[in-house]
Amino acid sequence: MLNARLLKLPTASHHHRHEHHQVVVGVRGEADLSVDGTGSHLDTWRACLVPTEARHDYCGDFQNHVLVINLDPYMPALSSPAHSEYETLAPLFERPRTLVLDSKLQGLVQFVAGEFDRSPDNEGIKHHMGASILHCMAERLNEGREVRQNRHALSPDTIRRYIMENIQCKITVNDLASVACLSVSRFHEMFREVVGVTPHQFLLQIRLDQAVQLLTMTPLSVSEVSYRTGFSSQSALTNALRKHKGTTPSRLRIDGKVA
């Protein structure tokens, strides 16, 4: 069971609970809800997700309109882990929560509200458009969870260790993404968020730091140092040191440190 409709919330607070999950999305005006003692303010950029049996009350201003989606908690997509949509939809109602809508989802809600006004008796439109909003919310919630999980799983130390073990070799971002078990695009996004630099900048910094150490601590030739740290040539190492460290191999040898 999934049904959706437009409502105007009363201006006086009304306390109740029900045996279905509920999504309440602001369409016009403002409203205040309290779910299991936690307050939530609704406007046209917010939605409140109310799990079954959660005690809640609500009241709205005189202009308020909300879009309400009711769902049977025993429908397979919400209750059966074997259902193909369970992992997507079930997390929506793990606990009461307020979702902030992005501009695209807010636009969809406004469009759906207009269609409900235009065809108030068309239950097919209400069902399918309500389901579309629900799935869009679930996708955004799951994307946020994936970002948090990946951020937690991504270990710069593991990436650094891999680079040091293979520093003589050509190392690509694809190689580093494989170490983290992420797609290249996701790895690049998460790495920059966690570490503060791109994977390429991180790799280059490690190569340069190792080259500086070898140049100042060993009698190895510049050519040998460039080979051992994965630079394509002596001139490539020299140019990288000049650009990123403000020094050269010969100056390092003289000063014993980065200028």
Percentage of the chain modeled with pLDDT above 90: 32
Instruction: Give the per-residue pLDDT at 259.
Output: 40
Q: What is 156-256's CATH number?
A: 1.10.10.60
pLDDT computed for residue 148 by the predictor: 52
Residues 157-177: pLDDT tens digits? Answer: 889 999 999 999 999 999 998
CA distance 24 to 34: 12
Over the stretch 6-56, which tens digit does the pLDDT of each residue have?
887 777 666 777 889 989 888 888 888 888 777 778 888 888 888 888 887
pLDDT at 258: 43
CA angle 32–37–41, rounded 5-degree value: 20
Q: Give 143's contacts (C-beta < 8 A, 6+ positions apart).
A: none
Q: How confident is the model at residue 248 (pLDDT cuts 50, 70, 90)?
A: very high
CA-based nearest residue to 171, from 235, 120, 212, 229: 229
Whether residue 3 has pLDDT greater than 70: yes
CATH number of 2-151: 2.60.40.420, 2.40.50.140, 2.60.120.280, 3.30.1490.20? 2.60.120.280
Distance CA 35, CA 115 (A): 29
Rounded-to-integer distance, Cα 83 and Cα 75, Å? 10
- 3-class DSSP state of 66: strand
- Residue ranges per domain, the chain? 2-151, 156-256
Q: What is the pTM of this model?
A: 0.55
